[in-house]
């Protein structure tokens, strides 16, 4: 039996999970051409930061979430300076042996995968060494919405609203601000942007930090609903990469559309067949079909249609 | 601190440098006057949370035995590595332990998937092997001793109680792999035997951590109680999420709390009204467990920073003593003789089997290589305090009564499943 409200809640839940899982990755991968395999561990850092801020420092949950996101953004900044752009090791190299030690990893897809995979192993084991095999979880706030014999956690519904707010904020940041303009110019044509006076180093650095911060925020938002242990980032990876690839080149619209489409398929199949297994299968089948027939993703396809229509006019 | 043990991952010897390191045995060659015990338990990776206490409890038993003169005068030399929750690594290390290290006995593995990955290697080498996790049951194997409680023992303790207390309609949620599927079959068999009915059943992939739809499905079916055989870190989120969704149905489980101590890790009341059917939890109220100088005291004295003493840790602990008793009875560490001694039936009193109440014992059943456990039903209250509901001795029944496995008479390497014997399980 299909219960419309159940389906609606399950869709919102699934949509929020996919969009939030993909948000930080979409910026780092979609904009900067770095496949960040440590994405899950950035989420882990946000979640641990939030949980520890509540349990050890006694901060209220919303403030702790801010702390979690900021800590991760700061960490992202360090990672960018040392591993991704190689600024710090190169600076040291210039001082000691008179040459650069590493080339930046921007737009070197395979290389960035290896480097960030190593980083992810270090972060998981590092968390295990520092905090043990698990840390105490904070309770989910806000209670539940009850309707008839059913109920749904209010917090999960709020997450859907938050995920939309994040998409709007990212859209605003990249299209309506000075920084966004420079960022897009840098990504489109770094040399010209540099010639026109854009500090591209700084743009890369900031953008990576923003992407990391968003991953941290995802961890922060999910901290009260997940079990806190060092491998918690893994569960986001599949959804994150699938959403980014299916979404295509336009970061915000792509993430929103793929989150909507994949979330709808996942929730509907799960609901109709009463099985999370089939929901997951449905999601992955759609991803395969999308990649087969829309190799540039949903937004790439929209672009192409728009271009063709303009040619026709 | 868990620190060193997890990272090093490759060096032998117990952490904390117990007697054996300084006790005069040098080199790795097995000398005639030591007993070489191989211990492969996860200290990193997915199962680290639940596997690390097993490793620690083995080391505690070994240290205690060595301090009291070893096994029949021989000192135990533990050989240990970290298999990192990786089945392939388990296979490599099992081969290495058997062929290179030449261990006299082996403890290895957390999940049923791991056990099945290494059992062919164990069988080819006729290696004496203790599998010490609670599991789905049915392994009838001439050199394997599966000494954790089986699904029939665990579910058989908690399901009849919940049936009496709350009513006949059951909803099953279980992890989607061999353990979960077979456990769900057992729920159906036990439901039939206890005049109850399974009104819904859902298998959940180990990677799933969103339970909104599962919770809705349970609400839709409106059962009298839920049986949960969820496994692993992702599935732990279910309890938090059902609490925040306001789902208040009683839940029986063979997996939660006793293994991953969710009642300590999650904020109350996420685990309120959950009933665990287990042979052991740190809170089991026997004198030899929680009394002064009891098992829990000794464990935390050796490992002051350990987070929890779980169900499987106790099984590692008492099986080490069962092995000691068998070697002393056989008068040799030759494996066929030790197996024969184990098959003669070993019995441990409260001193070495903390799950047994005063004056009682637990027995190794020689025919099936399984243990007749003391099974407890323990409930978490609103503040996550653990209270005792019932306890009684439950023998292994499936292999002994239904299948008729007798390893003293016939050598076998089979895992039997309930589907072969019960039509309710099909």
The predicted structure's pLDDT at residue B283: 92
Of A242, A225, A233, A254, nearest to A281 (Cα)?
Answer: A242
Q: Over chain A, what is the mean pLDDT?
A: 86
Q: How confident is the model over B228-249, as a mean pLDDT?
A: 88
Domains B3-148+287-373 and B151-278 are alike in CATH topology: yes
Q: Do A144 and B245 touch (CB under 8 A)?
A: yes
The predicted structure's pLDDT at residue A190: 80
Q: Do A267 and B213 touch (CB under 8 A)?
A: yes
pLDDT at residue B27 above 60? no
In angstroms, rounded to a whole number, what is the distance separating the alpha carbons of residues A94 and A92?
5
Least confidently predicted of A35-44, A83-92, B177-186, B235-244: A83-92
Find out whether B255 and B135 touch, Cβ atoms under 8 Å: no
pLDDT at residue A104 above 50? yes
The predicted structure's pLDDT at residue A63: 93
What's the first-to-final CA gap in chain B, in angstroms? Answer: 47
pLDDT tens-digit map of A238-284: 888 888 888 887 778 888 888 888 888 888 888 888 788 888 888 88
Query: Would you tell me which residues 278-307 of chain A have a C-beta closer than 8 angstroms to some C-beta of chain B?
Result: 279-280
Find out whether A124 and A44 touch, Cβ atoms under 8 Å: yes
pLDDT at residue A155 above 60? yes
In angstroms, rounded to a whole number, what is the distance separating the alpha carbons of residues A310 and B62?
78
Q: Which of the listed CATH numbers 2.60.34.10, 3.40.190.10, 3.40.50.360, 3.40.50.2300 matches domain B3-148+287-373?
A: 3.40.50.2300
Q: Do B205 and A155 touch (CB under 8 A)?
A: no
The predicted structure's pLDDT at residue A103: 81
Q: How confident is the model over A77-100, as a mean pLDDT?
A: 85
Chain B nearest CA to A297, separation (Å): 25
Q: pLDDT class for B210, splitting at 50, 70, 90? A: confident
pLDDT tens-digit map of B154-166: 999 999 999 999 9
User: What percent of chain B clears pLDDT 70, i.e. is strictly above it?
Assistant: 92
pLDDT at residue B29 above 60? no
Q: Report which of residues A71 and A290 the model is more confident about.
A: A71
In angstroms, rounded to a whole number, what is the distance separating the alpha carbons of residues A243 and B281?
42
Chain B nearest CA to A192, separation (Å): 45
Domain containing A41 equals 4-132+143-312
φ, ψ (nearest 5 deg) of residue B378: -120, 140
* Contact status of A277 with chain B (Cβ, < 8 Å): yes
pLDDT at residue B299 above 90? yes
Of A215, A224, A182, A216, nearest to A199 (Cα)?
Answer: A182
Number of compact structural domains in chain A: 1
Q: Do B212 and A271 touch (CB under 8 A)?
A: no
DSSP β-bridge partners for residue B372: B363
Q: What are the structural domain ranges in chain B? A: 3-148+287-373, 151-278
Q: Do A134 and B49 touch (CB under 8 A)?
A: yes
Residue A304 located in a structural domain: yes
Question: B172 Cβ partners below 8 Å, 6+ apart?
Answer: B184, B187, B198, B200, B201, B202, B226, B227, B228, B229
Chain B nearest CA to A125, separation (Å): 8
pLDDT tens-digit map of B103-156: 999 999 998 889 999 999 999 999 999 999 999 999 999 999 999 999 999 999
Chain B nearest CA to A225, separation (Å): 6
Long-range contacts of A266-269 (CB under 8 A, 24+ apart): A266/A14, A266/A18, A267/A7, A267/A10, A267/A11, A267/A13, A267/A14, A267/A15, A267/B213, A268/A7, A268/A11
Of the candidates A134, A235, A276, the beta carbon closest to that of B213 is on A276
Q: pLDDT class for B30, splitting at 50, 70, 90? A: very low
Cis peptide leading into residue B269 (ω within 30°): yes
Class for domain B151-278, per CATH? Answer: alpha beta
Q: Do A225 and B241 touch (CB under 8 A)?
A: yes
Q: pLDDT class for A2, splitting at 50, 70, 90? A: low
Q: Do A134 and B212 touch (CB under 8 A)?
A: no
Q: Over chain B, what is the mean pLDDT?
A: 88
CATH code, domain with A299: 1.10.3470
Structure tokens of B311? 């169900």
Least confidently predicted of B36-45, B120-129, B207-216, B257-266: B207-216
Structure tokens of B39? 């211990």
SS3 string of A272-284?
HHCCHHHHHHHHH
Residue A137 located in a structural domain: no
Question: A222 Cβ partners below 8 Å, 6+ apart?
Answer: A20, A43, A47, A159
Q: Is residue A204 within a helix (H) or strand (E), and if so which, with residue range?
A: helix A200-222
Model pTM score = 0.82
ipTM for the predicted complex: 0.79
Give all strands (DSSP E) within B125-280, no chain letters: 129-131, 139-141, 144-146, 169-175, 197-204, 225-229, 251-253, 274-278
Of A206, A260, A241, A211, nearest to A109 (Cα)?
Answer: A241
In this structure, how many other beta carbons lie within 10 angstroms of the beta carbon of residue A19? 29
Find out whether A231 and B233 touch, Cβ atoms under 8 Å: yes
């Amino acid at each position: 039996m299909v219960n419309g409200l159940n389906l609606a809640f399950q869709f919102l839940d699934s949509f929020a999970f996919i969009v939030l899982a993909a948000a930080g990755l979409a910026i780092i991968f979609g904009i900067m051409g770095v496949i960040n395999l440590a994405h899950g561990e950035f989420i882990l850092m946000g979640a641990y930061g939030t949980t520890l801020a509540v349990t050890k420092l006694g901060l209220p949950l919303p403030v702790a979430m801010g702390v979690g996101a900021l800590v991760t953004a700061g960490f992202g900044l360090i990672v960018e300076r040392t591993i991704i752009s190689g600024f710090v090791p190169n600076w040291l190299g210039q001082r000691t042996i008179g040459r650069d030690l590493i080339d930046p990893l921007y737009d070197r897809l395979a290389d960035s995968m290896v480097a960030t995979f190593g980083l992810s192993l270090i972060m998981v084991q590092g968390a295990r060494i520092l905090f043990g095999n698990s840390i105490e979880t904070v309770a989910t706030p806000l209670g539940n919405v009850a309707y008839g014999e059913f109920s749904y956690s209010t917090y999960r519904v709020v997450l859907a609203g938050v995920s939309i707010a994040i998409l709007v904020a990212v859209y605003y940041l990249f299209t309506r601000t000075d920084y966004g303009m420079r960022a897009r110019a840098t990504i489109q044509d770094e040399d010209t942007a540099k010639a026109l006076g854009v500090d591209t180093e700084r743009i890369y650095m900031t953008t990576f930090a923003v992407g990391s911060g968003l991953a941290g925020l995802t961890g922060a938002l999910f901290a009260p609903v997940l079990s806190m242990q060092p491998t918690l980032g893994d569960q986001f990876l599949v959804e994150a990469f699938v959403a980014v690839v299916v979404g295509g080149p336009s970061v915000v619209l792509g993430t929103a559309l793929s989150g909507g489409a994949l979330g709808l398929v996942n929730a509907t199949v799960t609901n109709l067949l009463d099985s999370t297994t089939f929901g997951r299968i449905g999601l992955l089948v759609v991803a395969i079909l999308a990649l087969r027939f829309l190799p540039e993703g949903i937004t790439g396809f929209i672009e192409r249609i728009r271009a063709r229509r303009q040619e026709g006019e | 601190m868990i620190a060193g043990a997890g990272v090093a991952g490759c060096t032998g010897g117990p952490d904390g440098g117990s007697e054996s390191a300084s006790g005069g045995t040098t080199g790795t060659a097995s000398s005639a006057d030591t007993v070489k015990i191989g211990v492969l338990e996860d200290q990193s990776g997915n199962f680290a949370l639940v596997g690390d206490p097993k490793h620690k409890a083995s080391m505690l038993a070994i240290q205690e035995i060595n301090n009291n003169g070893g096994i029949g005068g021989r000192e135990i030399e533990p050989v240990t590595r970290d298999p990192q929750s990786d089945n392939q690594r388990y296979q490599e290390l099992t081969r290495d332990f058997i062929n290179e290290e030449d261990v006299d006995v082996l403890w290895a593995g957390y999940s049923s998937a791991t056990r099945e990955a290494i059992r062919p290697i164990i069988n080819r080498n006729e290696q004496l092997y203790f599998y010490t996790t609670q599991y789905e049951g049915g392994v009838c194997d001439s050199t394997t001793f599966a000494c954790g409680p089986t699904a029939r023992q665990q579910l058989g303790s908690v399901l009849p109680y919940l049936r009496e207390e709350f009513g006949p309609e059951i909803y099953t949620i279980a992890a989607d792999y061999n353990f979960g599927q077979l456990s769900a079959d057992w729920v159906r068999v036990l439901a039939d035997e206890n005049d109850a009915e399974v009104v819904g059943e859902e298998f959940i992939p180990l990677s799933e951590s969103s339970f909104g739809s599962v919770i809705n499905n349970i609400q839709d079916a409106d059962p009298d109680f839920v049986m949960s055989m969820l496994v692993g870190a992702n599935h732990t989120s279910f309890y938090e999420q059902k609490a925040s969704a306001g789902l208040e149905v009683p839940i029986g489980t063979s997996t939660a709390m006793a293994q991953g101590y969710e009642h300590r890790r999650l904020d109350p009341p996420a685990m309120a009204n959950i009933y665990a059917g287990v042979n052991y939890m740190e809170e089991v109220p026997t004198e030899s467990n929680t009394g002064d100088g009891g098992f829990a005291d000794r464990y935390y004295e050796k490992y002051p920073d350990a987070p929890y003493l779980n169900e499987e840790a106790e099984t590692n602990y008492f099986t080490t003593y069962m092995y000691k008793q068998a070697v002393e009875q056989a008068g040799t560490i030759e494996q066929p003789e030790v197996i024969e001694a184990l098959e003669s039936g070993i019995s441990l009193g409260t001193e070495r089997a903390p799950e047994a109440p005063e004056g009682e014992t637990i027995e190794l059943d020689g025919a099936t290589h399984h243990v007749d456990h003391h099974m407890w039903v323990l409930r978490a209250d609103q503040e996550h305090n653990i209270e005792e509901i019932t306890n009684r001795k439950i023998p292994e029944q499936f292999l002994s009564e239904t299948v008729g496995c007798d390893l003293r008479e016939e050598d076998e390497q089979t895992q039997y499943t309930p589907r072969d014997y019960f039509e309710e399980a099909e």
